[in-house]
């Protein structure tokens, strides 16, 4: 799968164009639709789907403009339904496979950052939205977030991820799985510290 990153908006969201065998999808068009459309035009393939890793505005702001210009279908996990202010073409479920050319991306439901956060798993790559970054996991204190669900999701993902897999997060650097082992440990330590802080407050 060929992947092109476009950094958009004030929160520097990673929007991705993912291409396989003359088919393309857009992941998280968070802002600056013109910038994204320019890159799409360069590749000269009409996108098939716009997949949203979660509902937050910094991942969805350009979605309607892009749909208008490309007619691509909008896909998001069904648990984000109550948080959306635009209509969607297809609601996704855990383990659902999305075909792009010769390849496919598997939906991994990974709640914690939001109720319907997803990761998209390919053969050698995974798009993690705001669930996993190079230096840890996404915040859980926003609407729909849950520290407990995040912990479960990190556990689930640690079983799915393979060495040398490329991780495409929603913000920051693209990195390899080897590093994520470290950040998972770090994430666990963060959780332990967080829990200590909570119990100290009681």
Residues that bind Zn ion (CB under 5 A): 56, 58, 130, 170
- When the beta carbons of 13 and 20 are compared against Zn ion, the nearer one is 13
β-pair partners for 119? 108
In 3-state terms, what secondary structure has residue 36?
helix
Write down the least CB distance from residue 41 to Zn ion, Å: 26
- When the beta carbons of 29 and 170 are compared against Zn ion, the nearer one is 170
- When the beta carbons of 58 and 80 are compared against Zn ion, the nearer one is 58
- When the beta carbons of 122 and 138 are compared against Zn ion, the nearer one is 138
Contact 127, 168 (CB under 8 A): yes
Residues 70-99 as b/e (b if ≥16 CB within 10 A, e otherwise) read bebebbbbebbeebeeeebeeebeeebebe
Write down the least CB distance from residue 35 to Zn ion, Å: 17
Write down the least CB distance from residue 57 to Zn ion, Å: 9
Cα–Cα distance measured from residue 144 to residue 190, given in angstroms and rounded to the nearest whole number: 20
Cα–Cα distance measured from residue 46 to residue 25, given in angstroms and rounded to the nearest whole number: 9
Write down the least CB distance from residue 155 to Zn ion, Å: 20
């Amino acid at each position: 799968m060929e992947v092109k990153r476009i950094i958009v908006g004030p929160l520097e969201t990673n929007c991705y164009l993912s291409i396989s065998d003359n088919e393309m999808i857009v992941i998280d068009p968070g802002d600056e639709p013109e910038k994204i459309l320019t890159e799409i035009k360069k590749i000269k393939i009409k996108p098939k789907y716009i997949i949203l890793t979660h509902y937050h505005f910094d991942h969805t702001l350009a979605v309607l403009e892009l749909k208008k210009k490309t007619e691509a279908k909008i896909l998001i996990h069904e648990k984000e339904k109550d948080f959306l202010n635009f209509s969607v073409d297809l609601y996704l479920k855990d383990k659902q496979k999305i075909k792009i050319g010769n390849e496919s991306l598997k939906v991994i439901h990974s709640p914690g950052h939001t109720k319907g956060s997803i990761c998209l798993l390919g053969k050698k790559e995974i798009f993690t939205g705001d669930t996993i970054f190079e230096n840890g996991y996404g915040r859980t204190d926003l609407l729909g977030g849950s520290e407990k669900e995040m912990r479960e999701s990190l556990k689930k993902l640690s079983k799915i991820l393979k060495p040398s897999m490329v991780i495409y997060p929603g913000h920051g650097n693209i990195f390899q799985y080897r590093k994520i082992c470290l950040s998972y440990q770090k994430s666990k330590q963060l959780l332990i510290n967080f829990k200590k802080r909570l119990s100290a407050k009681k």
